[in-house]
Structure 1
Amino acid sequence: MPQPRDEGAARNKYRRGGDCAPALLLTGARPFEFLDWLKLEVSWNITYPWKGPLDPHINPLALGAPSLKCLTCNRVLVCQAELDFLHDQGKTYYNGLKQSVWVGTSPPEFFETLGEGHVFHLTHLDSEKAKEMMKTVEVIAAEFPIGQNSVTADVKKYA
């Protein structure tokens, strides 16, 4: 039996704390700063000690990952920052998706922000580059009714 298709996909969704989530109170929390694969591997091993950083959860092209044909959405946008330590992995995912058997209504799209690093759109919410990236996401997400694409409501908060 074929699986239902989502109209849009958000591979990495995020939510902002603080005034958007007043019930959330963090005490003694310290943010991780992922500067290279070594730190990512350490963090990944803390989070998932039984899996490595090349696990399909972080690398959808890894050996043993489900086929990208199973990606049940019509459109994909891969957003990447030029100076992100995961830049090569993001570009590899985009190229892998282009060459895969994934069936969407349009080819995957790639949006690159020059001169920025990992999660810049979260650390510099008011920057023009963050706004430009979020506007791109919003334009694509707005094509689909909110009931079919849960990212739309989240994106509008940050636009």
Structure 2
Amino acid sequence: MFTKQKIVDAAFVKASVGRSESLTGFSGDDMADALNELEMMMADWEGKGWDLCYQFADPTDSEATATPRPNEPAMIDRRWNSAVTSNLAIRICTMLGLSPSAEVAAEAYNGTLELSIAFVNVPDKSKAKAGSMATYGLLGSGNAVKKW
């Protein structure tokens, strides 16, 4: 099972930023920021209808602020791991003022395309109500309209 820490670590590696503070100079604040960035990215994607079953952080205090913890399970299906980590790597690069590599940018773009295809919502024409706009479709070129 992937934890949020493993996802963030993989994103740091893809962003060409190692995990050891002594080598890279990033702090615990950078790690906390990356965890928050993961939460925001997943919330953005859920708003688009891309439900990856991500487990958001629970509120930890009386003000209902949710602070993600590194050891929390992310609950993301393994097939989406690459799309999540590469897109998070792009966000981490932006956060740290770095330029992502072309490979990571391409991987993030392709992952986003895969997600948009996987979660596309195509309405079922057979369930359209009579008289609604869903019962009409365009044929050919121009404005020819036919009632189904």
TM-score, structure 2 as length reference: 0.27
TM-score, structure 1 as length reference: 0.25
Higher helix share goes to which structure? 2
